[in-house]
Amino acid sequence: MQNKVVVIVGASGGIGSALADKLASVGAKLVLAARDSSRLAALANDLPGEVLTIPTDITDASQVENLIQKTVVEFGQIDVLVNAAGVGILKPYNSVEPADLDKMLDVNLKGSFYTTQAAAEEMQKRKSGHICNVVGILGKHSMPMAAAYSASKFGVVGFSKCLAEELKRFGIKFTLFYFGGVDSPFWDNVSLKVDRKKMLSTETAANAIFFALSAEPQAVPLEINIQPDSHLFF
Q: Which residues participate in catalysis according to the annotation?
A: 149
Can you give 117-153 as a three-state secondary structure string? HHHHHHHHHHCCEEEEEECCHHHCCCCCCCHHHHHHH
Residue 142, number of CB atoms within 10 A of its CB = 10
Q: Residue 170 in contact with residue 130, Cβ under 8 Å?
A: no
Task: Please state, in angstroms and rounded to a whole number, the distance separating the CA atoms of residues 206 and 187.
Answer: 17
Q: Residue 115 in contact with residue 81, Cβ under 8 Å?
A: yes
Helix, strand or coil, per DSSP, at residue 203:
helix
Residue 79's Cβ-count burial label (10 Å; 0-12, 13-18, 19+) is buried
List 173's β-bridge partners, or say none. Answer: 130
